[in-house]
Amino acid sequence: MRETVSRFLLLLIVTLVVVPLDQATKLYISSHFRLYESVTVLENFFHISYLRNKGAAFGLLADSAFRIPFFITVAVLAAAGILVYMYQISNRQRLLQAGLSLIFAGALGNLIDRVLYGEVIDFLDFHWYEHHWPAFNVADSAITVGVGLMLIDLFLEERKKKGNEKTEKE
Count of helix runs (H) and strand runs (E) in the chain: 4, 4
Could you confirm whether 140 is annotated as catalytic? Answer: yes
Q: Which of these is catalytic: 22, 113, 122, 153?
A: 122
First to last CA, the chain: 37
One digit per residue, pLDDT tens: the chain, 170 residues?
666 788 899 999 999 999 999 999 999 999 999 999 999 999 999 999 999 988 666 556 656 667 788 888 989 999 999 999 999 998 889 999 999 999 999 999 999 999 999 899 999 999 999 898 899 999 999 999 999 999 999 999 898 888 776 666 65
| 153 given a catalytic annotation | no
The residues near 160 (Cβ < 8 Å, ≥ 6 apart) are: none
CA gap 109, 96 in Å, rounded: 20
- What's phi and psi for 54, nearest 5 deg? -80, -20
Amino acid, single-letter form, for residue 86: M
Give the C-alpha separation, 53 to 60, whole Å. Answer: 9
Query: Which residues have C-beta within 8 Å of that of residue 75, sequence separation ≥ 6?
Result: 107, 108, 110, 111, 114
Give bridge partners of residue 128 from the DSSP assignment.
Answer: 131
Q: What is the pTM of this model?
A: 0.88
- Please identify which of the residues 22, 113, 125, 140 carries the catalytic annotation: 140
